[in-house]
Amino acid sequence: MRVTSTKSKNSESFYINHAFKGKNGKSTSKVFKKLGTLKDLMEELQTDRDGVVAWAKEQARIETEKYNKETETVTIPFSQTQLIDSDKNRCFNVGYLFIQSILSSLRIDNICRNIKNRHAYEYNLEAILSDLIYGRVLSPSSKSSTFEFSKTLLESPKYEIHDVYRALSVIAEESDYIQAEVYKNSNFIHKRNKKILYYDCTNYYFEIEQADGDKQYGKQKEHRPNPCIGMGLFMDADGMPLAFDTYPGNQNEQKTLQPLEKKIIRDFECSEFIFCSDSGLGSQNNKLFNDMGNRSYVITQSLKKLKKEDREIALNPKQYRKIGTDEFVDLSALDETNKEVFNSVYYKEIPLESKKISETLIVTYSPKYRAYQANIRQGQIDRAMRIVNENGKVKKTHKNPNDPARFIKKTAITENGEIADKEFNILDQEAIDKEAIYDGFYGVTTNLDGDVEEIIEINKRRWQIEECFRIMKTDFEARPVYLQRDDRIKAHFLICFLALLSYRLLDAKLEHKYTVENTLDTLRTMNVTLIDGYGYIPSYTRTKITDNLHDIFGFRTDTQIVKKSKMRSIIKQTKGK
């Protein structure tokens, strides 16, 4: 490496240049490091130009030695007869380093120090909380299994398993504080978009038979006959989880919104936003709560549950407009075989008045959505036909909104002009036709006076909160839950929440280029093998994702060998130290 300088009319700048051979074998060079301008360096070093040049050459010598030391060839002797050490782990995961860098930016260390001032314990809360988050992202399992997984990270835990369970109680008690702090600190990583807040609820089942505490029998998303606990989750407009809370499994989810929303308004300094949720959470009280101050709402509306008069207006094919135009169209006159028509969306605005609230119902119609719904229902009709066997008996009796049995009805047959005692089941064409009239239609209610297209777009992004729940349930295996105490259960879900936030922030850094599965599979398989006395050899496949991760976070674990000293430096870097 050598020192170079460039001069302009008013200044001179110094650089360290690195000469090397390119892929074509030709010699080339690039700027390795910018040292600064002559004026700044003279002031900093309190010397003249000759002194600056001498200092720059010394910097080039130091960087050359450092570079040569890092790139020198390492010769590792292996024996074909010497056995490896017994009961000694040689394989370590380095994928957690990227999550560790995220947690460092979220200032988990500072949060845990503040918590320590309010509690009396001796264990390292930061290490326990961080390892629990790494485990949830990289190897989701029970707390005891996560403790064992932590031993495969580069820094083995210096706490015991009983410390983990004790820490869960502290984590649960400080849940609100932790959520508020990570929200505030997350803005330094990704500016939070709180103009629109999405809210939804789900529940998680337990492998138990007896209800206890918050674990109660209630209506479950998975339709399992087990006690469950509910979770309400707020998400911002970019799909980032904002806050959550848990509630007993038998509690009406409509009542969960206002307490959590009040907490966000108070602790997160979010007072002006558009609230968006599905119709199950759109009670009149929840609408009224978001019809005051600087808040407003966009909530889905079931057309089937509208008053008869409003429903007839909504389904009337006349007085619709194509999005982006003011011209009225008649839906019954559309040529849905036309590609442009098929992919277009049409809408109608209907004022809804009540004693307490004034709002607008926006009904949309999409030929493409109509075809999708018709296709789904046809599959259910086919299943209904198979359910009715040769003698007309139904093979299953329970019904839900998507159960094909809803298209089956009982009928009695006559024998010699008299009604037989035996009843049979046949396809209910009337039920099929009644459901088909809603194909392609979708409704939302709002108190906004803004652009209809923007309101529709706000509602369309609700899929992201469904994805948040899917990631927690499927990819992070948040259920079934095996913990018993309510406080530790809440800590479990806080860990899942923090794991989700960490992943979302990581995904934002990756510019959403990869699927959840690709990113998580990559992190989970990023293992290195320790060669005693020499360093770590990568035993994972280098891919575009691993290159992207290393480029974004500014360190590399994919060189042919990473010396222990270099790995210690990387660990220190990811901790922000």
DSSP 444-499: EEE---S-HHHHHHHHHTTHHHHHHHHIIIIIS---SB---SHHHHHHHHHHHHHH
Q: Is residue 134 situated within a structural domain?
A: no
Question: Which of 45, 71, 97 delimits the end of a domain?
Answer: 71
In a domain, 127, yes or no: no
Residue 60 lies in a domain: yes
Q: Give the pLDDT score at 416.
A: 63
- Rounded to whole angstroms, the Cα distance separating 337 from 436 reads 19
Given this model, what pLDDT does residue 332 score?
A: 94
Residue 408 located in a structural domain? yes
Backbone angles phi, psi at 124, to 5 degrees: -90, 100
pTM confidence score:
0.82
Domain assignment present for 444: no
326 occurs within a structural domain:
no
Task: Measure the CA–CA gap between 308 and 311, rounded to whole angstroms.
Answer: 5
Instruction: Give the count of domains, the chain.
Output: 2
Domain boundary among 17, 42, 71: 71
In Å, how far from its chain's centre is CA 561? 34
Q: Domain ends where: 436, 466, 490?
A: 436
Domain that holds residue 393: 369-436
pLDDT in tens, the chain (577 residues): 889 999 888 889 999 998 877 767 777 888 888 999 998 999 999 999 999 999 999 999 888 888 777 776 777 788 888 888 888 899 999 999 999 999 999 999 999 999 999 999 999 999 999 999 999 999 999 999 999 999 999 999 999 999 999 999 999 999 999 999 999 999 999 999 999 999 999 998 887 777 888 888 877 666 677 888 999 999 999 999 999 999 998 899 999 999 999 999 999 988 899 999 999 999 999 999 999 888 999 999 999 999 999 999 999 999 999 998 989 999 999 999 999 999 999 999 999 987 788 899 999 999 999 999 999 999 999 888 887 765 556 655 555 677 888 888 877 766 665 655 667 778 889 999 999 999 999 999 999 987 899 999 999 999 999 999 999 999 999 887 878 889 999 999 999 999 999 999 999 999 999 999 999 999 999 999 999 888 999 999 999 999 999 999 999 999 999 999 999 999 999 998 7
Q: Is residue 40 one of the residues assigned to a domain?
A: yes
Question: What span, in angstroms and rounded, lies between the C-alpha atoms of 219 and 481?
Answer: 17
Whether 65 maps to a domain, the answer reads yes
Instruction: List Cβ neighbours of 380 (8 Å cut-off, separation of 6 or more).
Output: 402, 404, 407
Q: Enumerate the β-bridge partners of residue 5.
A: 14
Phi, psi for 120 (deg, rounded to 5)? -110, 100
Which residue pairs from 399-405 have beta carbons closer than 8 angstroms and sit at least 24 positions apart in sequence? 400/223, 404/380
Closest CA to 2 of 22, 12, 17, 14: 17
HSE of 501 in the Cβ direction (CA atoms, 13 Å)?
34
Reduced to 3 states, what is the DSSP secondary structure of residue 301? strand
